[in-house]
């Protein structure tokens, strides 16, 4: 039996009927029997978190735990998040979980790859002296993405431009995409010039990077929620002041990037899982128009991840809200109906 939903379909805003046949959306009424699962409200192609790292009980002591991973992606799903990108995971997702009908769609990128030439790295990084080969291998072994540390300590030298350029060219030649963690001005500049596909965080992003990202069609994923939380803990000393200056700049660049035509996307980075609505609110506070901020956590993110949304033949993920999230973003915390992979999960 086909599922039937009627409501205001976003982002276009027309009120219409849609049906779900298997894992596909259609706007043509099927001849077989139908069951109405939503009548009225606002329909989104689900929420998307493009920067989350489930799989560990503790952020301080990161250790891969498939049970924690399952619980944390269930929290994302119950919040109406139907697609996730993981720019760095501690382990490999068990096949049975990956293919389970009630799990969000998942885009993996392998481990966090850190170049051995960086002065510091974290325990959870995979350190390599052949960043090009490692990046191509990770993208090939996962969902076309790899994750690089463009820098780590924001006061130390980042990965040199020439190396990032070689990595990006090699991954692109193999059909993959590159997500780069950057939290220093020079780190962002090197990654933006090198043509990476997404800048993660972007603390201290120099102004000229905005045009570079626009020219390369790269996305900007500021993960404002995580940085806003850290801001209250960073102490007032010379290093802390440098951190705060980088943070102020990254917040300012969100609106500037959007104005320049860069796709800004929503990612939470840290626990709690299933709280992309808070990131949408931070994006709005940073100056993004509310409809763009909602899209950053839904249709724009799906486009970027190549997951078709509420279009003919699109993938059968739909969330339904009582109010228009473009006018009342807080309603994103209260999905009335969640359809995932063609099945009602709420």
Q: Is residue 144 within 8 Å of 177, Cβ to Cβ?
A: yes
Q: Which stretch binds Zn ion (CB under 5 A): 41-49, 62-70, 136-144, 265-273?
A: 265-273
Among positions 49, 151, 269, 317, the unique one binding Zn ion when judged by CB under 5 A:
269
Binding-residue total with Zn ion (CB under 5 A)? 1
Nearer to Zn ion, 269 or 279 (CB): 269
Closest contact distance (angstroms) between CB of 166 and Zn ion is 23
Is residue 49 a contact point for Zn ion (CB under 5 A)? no
Instruction: Say which residues have a Cβ less than 8 Å from residue 286's Cβ, sequence separation at least 6.
Output: 222, 224, 251, 252, 254, 255
What is the rounded CA–CA span in Å between residue 240 and residue 31?
A: 64
Q: Please provide the size of the chain in residues.
A: 346
- Using CB under 5 A as the binding rule, the residues of this chain from 180 to 219 that contact Zn ion are none
Nearer to Zn ion, 229 or 346 (CB): 229
Q: Which stretch binds Zn ion (CB under 5 A): 113-121, 156-164, 268-276, 314-322?
A: 268-276
Q: Which stretch binds Zn ion (CB under 5 A): 261-269, 274-282, 317-325, 330-338?
A: 261-269
Check residue 332 and report its DSSP letter.
Answer: G
Where do runs of H (alpha helix) occur along the chain?
66-78, 95-98, 131-141, 161-173, 185-194, 208-216, 224-231, 238-259, 276-285, 290-296, 299-305
Closest contact distance (angstroms) between CB of 181 and Zn ion is 7
Closest contact distance (angstroms) between CB of 344 and Zn ion is 32
Q: Which stretch binds Zn ion (CB under 5 A): 190-198, 267-275, 285-293, 313-321?
A: 267-275
What is the rounded CA–CA span in Å between residue 93 and residue 66?
A: 7
Nearer to Zn ion, 179 or 340 (CB): 179
Closest contact distance (angstroms) between CB of 200 and Zn ion is 6
Nearer to Zn ion, 45 or 54 (CB): 54
Check residue 315 and report its DSSP letter.
Answer: B
Q: Is residue 161 within 8 Å of 151, Cβ to Cβ?
A: no
Residue 334's nearest CA partner among 342, 343, 324 is 324
Q: Which stretch binds Zn ion (CB under 5 A): 165-173, 262-270, 279-287, 332-340?
A: 262-270
Nearer to Zn ion, 269 or 317 (CB): 269
Closest contact distance (angstroms) between CB of 62 and Zn ion is 11
Q: Pairing state of beta strands 337-340 and 2-9?
A: unpaired
Q: Is residue 191 within 8 Å of 201, Cβ to Cβ?
A: no
Residue 198's nearest CA partner among 271, 126, 107, 128 is 107
Closest contact distance (angstroms) between CB of 307 and Zn ion is 20
Distances in Å between the Cα of 174 and the Cα atoms of 87, 106, 114, 169, 326 are 18, 21, 20, 9, 38
Nearer to Zn ion, 36 or 58 (CB): 58
Q: Which stretch binds Zn ion (CB under 5 A): 73-81, 239-247, 263-271, 337-345?
A: 263-271
Nearer to Zn ion, 197 or 269 (CB): 269
Closest contact distance (angstroms) between CB of 278 and Zn ion is 16
For residue 220, the surrounding DSSP H or E stretch is: strand 219-221
At 265, is the secondary structure helix, strand, or coil?
coil
Show the binding pattern over residues 216-255: x = contacts Zn ion (CB under 5 A), - = does not. Answer: ----------------------------------------
The residue number with the shortest CB distance to Zn ion is: 269
What is the rounded CA–CA span in Å between residue 5 and residue 18?
A: 5
Closest contact distance (angstroms) between CB of 152 and Zn ion is 12
What is the rounded CA–CA span in Å between residue 313 and residue 300?
A: 17
Closest contact distance (angstroms) between CB of 130 and Zn ion is 23
Closest contact distance (angstroms) between CB of 54 and Zn ion is 11
Which residue ranges make up the site for Zn ion (CB under 5 A)? 269
């Amino acid at each position: 039996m086909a599922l039937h939903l009627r409501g205001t379909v976003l982002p276009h805003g027309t009120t219409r009927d849609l049906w779900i046949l298997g894992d596909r959306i259609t706007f043509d009424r099927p001849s077989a029997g139908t069951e109405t699962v939503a009548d009225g409200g606002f329909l989104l192609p689900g929420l998307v978190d493009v920067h989350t790292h489930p799989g560990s009980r503790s952020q301080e002591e990161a250790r891969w735990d498939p049970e924690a991973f399952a619980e944390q992606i269930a929290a994302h799903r119950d919040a109406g998040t139907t697609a996730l990108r993981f720019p760095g995971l501690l382990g490999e997702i068990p096949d049975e979980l990956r293919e389970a009908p009630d799990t969000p769609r998942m885009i993996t990128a392998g481990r966090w790859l850190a170049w051995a030439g960086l002065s510091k790295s974290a325990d959870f990084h995979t350190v390599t002296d052949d960043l090009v080969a490692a990046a191509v291998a990770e993208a090939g072994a996962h969902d076309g993405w790899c994750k690089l540390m463009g820098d780590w300590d924001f006061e130390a030298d980042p990965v040199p431009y020439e190396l990032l350029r070689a990595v990006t060219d090699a991954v692109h030649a193999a059909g993959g995409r590159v997500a780069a963690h950057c939290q220093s001005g020079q780190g962002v500049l090197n990654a933006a010039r090198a043509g990476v596909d997404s800048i993660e965080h972007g603390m201290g992003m120099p102004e000229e990077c905005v045009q570079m990202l626009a020219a390369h069609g790269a996305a900007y994923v500021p993960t404002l929620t995580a940085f806003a939380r850290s801001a209250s803990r960073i102490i007032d000393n010379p290093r802390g002041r440098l951190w705060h200056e980088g943070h102020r700049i990254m917040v300012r660049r969100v609106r500037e990037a959007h104005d320049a035509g860069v796709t800004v996307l929503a990612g939470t980075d840290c626990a709690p899982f299933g709280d992309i609505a808070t990131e949408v609110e931070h994006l709005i506070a940073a100056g993004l128009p509310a409809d763009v901020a909602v899209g950053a956590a839904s249709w724009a993110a799906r486009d970027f991840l190549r997951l078709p949304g509420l279009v003919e033949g699109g993938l059968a993920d739909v969330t339904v809200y009582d109010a228009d999230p473009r006018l009342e973003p807080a309603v994103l915390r209260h999905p009335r109906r969640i359809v995932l992979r063609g099945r009602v999960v709420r």
